[in-house]
């Protein structure tokens, strides 16, 4: 009996310890001007400035911080948030990290939308995170550039150098370039990692499209050095960029990624574990099971009008069901947050073989109408 | 006569519509309290971030007249400065960072922040507003507005 009581006491102690010592949540909201009730902030830049001034050390405060970008019945409009965001001067660690996400009606439905939250810049970097913030997660955001002035050297999701160590996760985001032949060095996702201790950057279910104007433009760009540093692209879609995925080193791994309508889909050297990718250019995508040329040419829902709908068409056969199960990486949903079951696809969208999963899902019905599958 | 009255009304409305609001940082960052000795111990990367950090008086964002600010876009962290008669387009640049084109480790050019915000309202002005607990300050038309605009600091490297 004493033993049972002792075991119960130890169990309770462990339970309490886990609950008592887990970091607590510090949450702020960003809602558009005119929301009722209003959010804490109306721009992402203001939310970050507040954290920098009032909650700069998440570790000592023992909190993980969330910035929830919401709609609350008052839709976001084009130009609501136009302020470049620099995230630095915030101390984080593995359990006390910064998490920025769009949710509910503020979150895009896997395709660029101006009535969802979108950060729109004018010849500036978009969201930059600095080498003093190692643990950050960004999910469901859209970032683009204005077409009014020819931009150069602008990176929409920008990590100019890594913290050491770091665990950066960017998921379900869309970087939308503009088509202007005068620009140069405009990137969707620009990741630079260096130094030690090593860290990881994981980018999944993200789209980079229309980084086309100059020969130096890139959808996904990587510069990884330093022993053990690693960058992963999983289930990402690069469409109509000069370079789709650019990797000068072997520390970048691409799995289930697709580059279509790019001048150069996969440029450089990728890690040998890269596989199950697709490119519509011959001998381009890395990996023994990758698809190239006509076999790597996916059929999307809308490739005719910009912004495109890069969900897979039900008629597609080159990306649908051609990916590998990557659930061991820690995600099991596609860009629409629909749970993947059965065969994985290449790119951001998952559809079942034969019939689109969107035909059946409540959320997908709206999308299905947009796609024409419910006519 | 009616036409003149209508014209005057139109002009009045047009002038009223043209206004800008600035969200300004009123609270300092913990890094402001570092001593010179502590700053000297920072690595080169850390010093860059330290030098680029937000400062009291930095203009975080610029929005049009009537912007409905969030519940935390006020003291103690922020002050809203209203500028009636000033078009947003003419002051939009005040929210931008100070950048320079640099070469990254792989040789590509990057736009690097030297200061996270390029323009700053004098710190002592902001401290005065804070002392008066003024979350919203309206700078009325000339000459007060001219004085205000002329005193906005443009940072340098």
Residue A30 has pLDDT above 50, yes or no: yes
Please tell me the distance from the alpha carbon of residue A358 to that of residue B127, in angstroms, as a whole number.
Answer: 55
A154: closest chain B residue by CA: B111
Confidence of residue A6 (pLDDT cuts 50, 70, 90): low
Confidence of residue A306 (pLDDT cuts 50, 70, 90): confident
Average pLDDT over residues A326-332: 97
**B-chain residues within 8 Å CB-CB of A185?**
108-110
Per cent of chain A over pLDDT 90 is: 74
Per cent of chain B over pLDDT 70 is: 89
Query: What b/e sequence results for A330-351 when a residue is b if at least 16 CB atoms lie within 10 Å of its CB, and e otherwise?
Result: ebeebbbebebeeebbbbbbbb
Residue A373 has pLDDT above 50, yes or no: no
**Is B27 in contact with A54 (Cβ distance < 8 A)?**
yes
Rounded to the nearest angstrom, the minimum Cα separation between B61 and chain A is 6
Chain A touched by B30 (CB under 8 Å) = yes
Kindly report the length of chain B.
157
Query: What b/e sequence results for B100-128 when a residue is b if at least 16 CB atoms lie within 10 Å of its CB, and e otherwise?
Result: eeeebebebebbbbbbbbbbbbeeebbee
Residue A48 has pLDDT above 90, yes or no: yes
**A-chain residues within 8 Å CB-CB of B68?**
33-35, 38, 42
Residues 117-156 on B with a CB inside 8 Å of A are none
**Is A42 in contact with B69 (Cβ distance < 8 A)?**
yes
Please tell me the distance from the alpha carbon of residue A126 to that of residue A158, in angstroms, as a whole number.
Answer: 7
A144 strand-pairing partners: A120, A176
Query: To probe the interface with A, which of B43, B101, B116, B126 has the most A CB atoms within 10 Å?
Result: B116
E strand spans, A122-229: 127-129, 135-139, 142-145, 155-159, 167-171, 174-176, 187-193, 200-204, 207-209, 218-224
- The CA-atom distances, in angstroms, between A218 and each of A33, A238, A265, A335 are 33, 9, 10, 21
Classify A345 as helix, strand or coil: coil
**B-chain residues within 8 Å CB-CB of A84?**
95-97
The partner residue sitting opposite B111, judged by closest CB among A125, A192, A194, is A125
**Is B70 in contact with A30 (Cβ distance < 8 A)?**
yes
Position B104 scores a pLDDT of 80
**A-chain residues within 8 Å CB-CB of B54?**
49, 52-53, 89
**Is A41 in contact with B72 (Cβ distance < 8 A)?**
yes
The partner residue sitting opposite B105, judged by closest CB among A41, A125, A194, is A194
Residue A363 has pLDDT above 50, yes or no: no
Q: What is the CA angle B116-B120-B123, rounded to 5?
A: 120
Position A183 scores a pLDDT of 75
Residues 40-69 on B with a CB inside 8 Å of A are 45-46, 49, 52-54, 58, 60-61, 63, 67-69
Q: What is the mean pLDDT of chain A?
A: 89
Position B4 scores a pLDDT of 66
Contact B112, B56 (CB under 8 A): no
Which of A254, A262, A197, A235 lies closest to A319, judged by CA?
A235
| Per-residue model confidence as pLDDT tens digits over A176-210 | 987 666 678 899 999 999 988 999 999 999 999 99
Lowest mean pLDDT among A7-11, A68-72, A255-259, B76-80: A7-11
Contact A216, A248 (CB under 8 A): no
Q: What is the pTM of this model?
A: 0.90
For chain B, what is the HEC assignment? Answer: CHHHHHHHHHHHHHHHHCEEEEEEECCCCHHHHCCHHHHHCCCHHHHHHHHHCCCCCEEEEEEECCCCCCCCCCCCCEEEEEEECCCHHHHHHHHCCEEEEEECCCCCEEEEEEECCCEECCHHHHHHHHHCCCCEEECCCCCHHHHHHHHCEECCC
The token pair at B108 is: 């590509």
ω before A17 within 30° of 0 (cis)?
no
**Is B49 in contact with A132 (Cβ distance < 8 A)?**
yes
**Is A154 in contact with B111 (Cβ distance < 8 A)?**
yes
The DSSP element (H or E) to which A44 belongs, if any, is: helix A44-54
Which of B45, B43, B66, B77 lies closest to A41, judged by CA?
B77
């Amino acid at each position: 009996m004493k033993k049972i009581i002792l075991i119960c006491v130890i169990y309770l102690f462990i339970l309490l310890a886990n609950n008592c010592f887990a970091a607590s949540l510090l949450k702020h909201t960003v809602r558009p001007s005119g929301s009722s009730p209003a959010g804490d902030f109306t721009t992402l830049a203001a939310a970050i400035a507040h954290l920098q001034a009032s909650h700069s050390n998440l570790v000592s405060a023992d909190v993980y911080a969330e910035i929830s970008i919401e709609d609350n019945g008052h839709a976001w409009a084009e130009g609501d948030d136009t302020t470049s965001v620099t995230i630095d001067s915030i101390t984080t660690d593995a359990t006390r990290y910064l998490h920025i996400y769009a949710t509910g009606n503020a979150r895009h439905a896997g395709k660029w939308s101006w009535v969802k939250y979108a950060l729109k810049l004018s010849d500036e970097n978009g969201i930059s995170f600095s080498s003093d913030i190692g643990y950050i997660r960004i999910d469901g955001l859209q970032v683009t550039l204005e077409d009014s002035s020819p931009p150069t050297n602008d990176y929409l999701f920008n990590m100019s150098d890594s913290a050491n160590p770091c665990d950066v996760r960017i998921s379900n985001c869309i970087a939308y370039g503009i088509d202007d032949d005068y620009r140069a060095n405009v990137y969707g996702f620009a990741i630079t990692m260096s130094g030690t201790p090593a860290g990881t950057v994981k980018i999944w279910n993200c789209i980079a499209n229309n980084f086309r104007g100059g020969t130096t433009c890139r959808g996904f760009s990587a510069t990884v050095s330093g022993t053990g540093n690693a960058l992963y692209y999983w289930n990402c879609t690069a469409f109509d960029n000069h370079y789709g995925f650019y990797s000068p080193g072997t520390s970048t791994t691409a799995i289930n990624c697709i580059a279509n309508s790019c001048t150069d889909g996969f440029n450089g050297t990728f890690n040998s574990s890269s596989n199950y990718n697709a490119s519509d250019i011959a001998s381009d995508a890395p990996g023994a099971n990758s698809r190239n040329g006509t076999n790597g040419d996916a059929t999307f829902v809308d490739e005719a009008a910009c912004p495109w709908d890069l969900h897979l068409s039900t008629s597609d056969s080159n990306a649908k069901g051609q990916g590998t199960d990557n659930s061991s990486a820690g995600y099991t949903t596609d860009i629409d947050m629909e749970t993947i079951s059965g065969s994985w696809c290449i790119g951001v969208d998952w559809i079942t073989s034969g019939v689109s999963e969107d035909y059946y899902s409540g959320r997908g019905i709206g999308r299905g109408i947009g796609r024409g599958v419910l006519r | 006569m009616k036409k003149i009255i209508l014209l005057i009304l139109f002009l009045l409305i047009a002038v009223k519509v043209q206004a800008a609001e600035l969200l300004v940082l009123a609270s300092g960052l913990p890094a402001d309290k570092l001593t010179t000795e502590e700053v000297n111990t920072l690595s080169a990367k850390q010093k860059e971030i330290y030098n680029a950090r937000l400062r009291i008086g930095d203009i975080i964002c610029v929005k049009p007249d009537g912007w409905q600010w969030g519940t935390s876009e006020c003291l103690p962290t922020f002050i809203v400065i209203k500028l009636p008669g000033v078009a947003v387009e003419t002051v939009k640049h005040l929210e931008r960072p100070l950048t320079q084109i640099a070469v990254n480790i792989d040789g590509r050019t990057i736009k690097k922040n030297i200061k996270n915000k390029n323009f700053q309202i004098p710190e002592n002005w902001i401290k005065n507003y804070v002392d008066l607990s003024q979350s919203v300050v309206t700078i009325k038309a000339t000459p007060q507005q001219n004085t205000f605009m002329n005193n906005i600091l443009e940072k340098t490297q």
